[in-house]
Amino acid sequence: MPRPMGSTERMTADKSEPIARLYTDGACSGNPGPGGWGAVLEWNGHRKELHGGEPATTNNRMELTAAIKAIESLSRAVTVELYTDSRYLKDGVTLWLKDWKRRGWKIADKKPVKNIDLWQQIDALLTQHKISWHWVKAHNGHEQNERADELARLGIVELRDASPNENA
């Protein structure tokens, strides 16, 4: 079983093992409001796209959900490079998570961590894969990040289309 990655450690893949590259994004129409998440997965010459939505959520929850769904979709333990435009997600994993756990899932001022359910899911996934976390600037022409954003917005559209029209 692969060892978990330290919070700031960058893992290097065995040259014979392809790296899974995950590009994730979340979106929200209103914050809170209906939200969507999207992910683009690339591995060994293959590409897969995922998306979904929730009726009442926040942008941060959708950013976390996108990463969770992308990692959960991996069929086996692999080395992962995860790209996100969310500092909340990247900094949460690489800078804050260790201290939150040490404090019993509390932030420095002893208040509970927001979105604890999702952070605990991410924490559990970290033991299953070697993951390095990368931040990319949003809406800056990064092809896979732009596609993840489109997928997240599609999650919102599909959610709205599936909901009965309240004004009818």
* Average pLDDT value for residue range 92-97: 98
Give pLDDT tens digits for 17-43: 889 999 999 999 999 999 999 999 999
Tell whether the model's pLDDT for residue 167 goes beyond 50.
no
Does a structural domain hold residue 40? yes
Q: How many domains does the chain have?
A: 1
In a domain, 56, yes or no: yes
Annotated catalytic residue within 85, 92, 129, 155? 85
Active-site annotation holds for 63:
yes
Active site (annotated) includes residue 146: no
Does residue 25 form part of some domain?
A: yes
Residue 12 lies in a domain: no
Residue 38 · residue 148 · CB < 8 Å: yes
Of these residues, 35, 129, 149, 155, which one is catalytic?
A: 149
Quote the pTM value.
0.87
Residue 59 included in any domain: yes
Task: Determine whether 14 is an active site residue.
Answer: no
- State phi, psi for 44 to the nearest 5 degrees: 50, 45
Whether residue 139 lies in the annotated active site: yes
In a domain, 14, yes or no: no
Q: Which of 63, 81, 92, 146 is catalytic?
A: 63
Q: Is residue 123 part of a domain?
A: yes
Structure-token pair, residue 122:
């991410």
- Helix, strand, coil abundance in the chain, percent, nearest 5: 35, 25, 35
CB–CB of 86/39 below 8 Å? no
CATH code where residue 128 lies:
3.30.420.10
Domain that holds residue 108: 20-162
For the chain, percent of residues with pLDDT exceeding 90: 82
Catalytic residue among 104, 139, 143, 166: 139
| Domain membership flag for residue 73 | yes
User: For 117-146, what is each residue's pLDDT tens digit?
Assistant: 999 999 999 999 999 999 999 988 899 999
